[in-house]
C-alpha cells in the first residue's frame, strides 16, 4: 500500500477542542461522531464531504482497533441520522384543498371509509408482493485505497473503515482524516444503487394513504 499523503495534501491536525465546548454542531443531521468525540463524519446528503480525527486519538483510544471501532460507531450514527432526515423529507400535504368532499353524514362517512378500506387492501397486496419478490443480493462495496479500506452498506453509506497497521503507526491525524475521506469518496463514486422494482408503487400507496387520512380529517371537521 502506498502513502496517500504523497497523492494529495492532508488537512491540518485537528484537536477537537471546539467539540469539547459543544460548538461543532454535532447535533446537526449532517454530522456524525463516535461517543468519545474522536472522529467526525460530515455529510452533504448521503455523501461524506469531510472527515475529522482528534489529534489526541491515540491517547483517548489506545489502539488502531479502537480507532476502527470509533469510525464504525460514527458510520452507524450517520446512518441513523440520515434515516431520520429521509423520514422528515416526506412530501408535504400542506395546501391540499378537499373542495369536492360532500357534507358529513352517515352515507358520506361510510363511503369514505369503504374507499379507505379498498386502499388498505391494495396497499397490503403490494406489500405482500414486494415481500415475496426475489432480489439479487447487492454486492458489498469494499474499496482499498492505499492504506485505508472502506466498506459501504447496501444504501451506499460507509459502514466500516480499516487501516494498514504499519502505515497508521506513523500517520498524522490530518493525514488519517484525508486518507479516510479519499477512500470513502472513491467507494461512493463506485457505488451503484439498487432499487426494489415495486418501490415506486409502495411510495405511491403510502402517499395516497396520507392524503386519505387528511381527507378524512377534513370531512369530519367540515373543511371543504
| 13-31 core/surface letters (b: 16 or more CB in 10 A; e: else) | bbebeebeeeebeeeebbb
Separation CA 180–CA 168 (nearest Å): 11
pLDDT at 15: 45
pLDDT at 81: 81
pLDDT at 139: 63
pLDDT at 37: 93
pLDDT at 67: 96
pLDDT at 84: 60
Query: Running DSSP on this structure, what letter comes out for residue 112?
Result: H
pLDDT at 183: 96
For 11, 40, 60, 121, the CA distances from 206, given in Å and listed in that order, are 45, 35, 46, 12
Residue-wise pLDDT for 164-192, tens only, equals: 999 998 899 999 999 999 999 999 998 88
- pTM for the whole structure: 0.63
pLDDT at 17: 42
Pick out the chain residues at pLDDT < 50.
1-29
How many Cβ atoms from other residues are within 10 Å of residue 48's Cβ?
Answer: 23
pLDDT at 69: 95
The C-alpha cell at 107 is 352515507
pLDDT at 136: 59
Return the bridge partners of 148, or none: 145, 163
pLDDT at 223: 63
Amino acid at each position: 500500500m502506498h502513502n496517500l499523503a504523497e497523492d494529495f495534501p492532508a488537512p491540518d491536525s485537528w484537536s477537537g477542542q471546539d467539540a469539547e465546548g459543544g460548538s461543532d454542531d454535532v447535533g446537526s443531521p449532517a454530522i456524525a461522531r463516535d461517543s468519545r468525540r474522536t472522529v467526525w463524519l460530515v455529510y452533504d446528503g448521503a455523501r461524506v464531504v469531510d472527515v475529522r480525527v482528534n489529534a489526541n486519538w491515540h491517547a483517548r483510544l489506545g489502539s488502531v482497533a479502537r480507532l476502527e471501532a470509533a469510525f464504525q460507531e460514527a458510520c452507524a450514527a450517520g446512518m441513523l441520522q440520515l434515516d431520520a432526515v429521509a423520514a422528515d423529507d416526506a412530501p408535504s400535504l400542506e395546501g391540499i384543498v378537499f373542495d369536492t368532499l360532500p357534507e358529513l353524514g352517515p352515507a358520506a362517512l361510510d363511503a369514505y371509509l369503504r374507499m379507505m378500506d379498498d386502499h388498505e387492501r391494495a396497499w397490503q397486496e403490494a406489500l405482500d408482493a414486494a415481500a415475496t419478490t426475489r432480489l439479487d443480493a447487492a454486492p458489498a462495496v469494499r474499496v482499498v485505497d492505499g492504506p485505508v479500506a472502506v466498506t459501504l452498506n447496501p444504501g451506499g453509506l460507509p459502514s466500516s473503515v480499516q487501516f494498514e497497521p504499519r502505515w497508521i503507526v506513523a500517520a498524522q491525524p490530518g493525514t488519517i482524516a484525508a486518507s479516510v475521506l479519499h477512500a470513502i469518496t472513491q467507494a461512493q463514486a463506485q457505488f451503484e444503487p439498487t432499487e426494489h422494482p415495486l418501490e415506486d408503487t409502495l411510495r405511491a400507496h403510502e402517499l395516497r394513504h396520507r392524503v386519505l387520512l387528511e381527507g378524512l380529517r377534513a370531512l369530519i371537521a367540515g373543511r371543504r
